[in-house]
Chains A and B, each alone.
Chain A
């Protein structure tokens, strides 16, 4: 059965810390891996990763895919309270079939 597992499920850190969120997967027909940020409403897109070893970066956020290890990490440096959210990892198996992980709830304390 296709599976996406995120860890940790919950993380509380202080402002300014660096965090690393993990996503591992067991899916057939892998096409791409996506990261989303969900605050109080709809998930918003962060990154799409298709190739192993190529880092995608946007400001303080970065992400990389390791196809050999069937995993991806999302890094956030110099965290701010506005980074508090649920971070979702999803695997695309082609077309619009997405399998999501349970999410990591990140809380940044001032």
Chain B
């Protein structure tokens, strides 16, 4: 089954304790992306990746890191989480249309993170 998976689905942690949220897709998509969703603010892009070893900042990259060592995986790293990073996080992946534009994106189930 074609899907995007994220782990963990729920996480409660404390300020400053490094954490990683994993994202994996089995559709051989070139593009992957991370979003956070907050009430009243909608979905905001954190980082995206156009292919292996190619990543770029989205609109809210501060406090986050990503890596793309393999095509299928795109982990999101919070080196020193803070309470303002409490949010619902989504990973997404998409195909390339061949013109440099991403086709529709498929979203993972989400990770609800609480930082105390």
Contact = CB atoms under 8 A, between A and B. Distances in A.
Mostly, the A contact residues are strand
Interface residues of A, number: 23
Give the size category of B's interface with A: 20 to 34
B100 interface: yes
Contact of A96 (B32, B42, B44, B107): B32
Interface stretch (A14-22, A42-50, A64-72, A76-84): A42-50
A32 interface: yes
Contacts, number: 66
A45 B104 contact: yes
Given A45-B104, A45-B105, A48-B104, A101 B42 contact: yes
A99 interface: yes
B102 A92 contact: yes
Interface of B: 31-33, 35, 40-45, 48-50, 56, 58-59, 90, 92, 94, 100-110
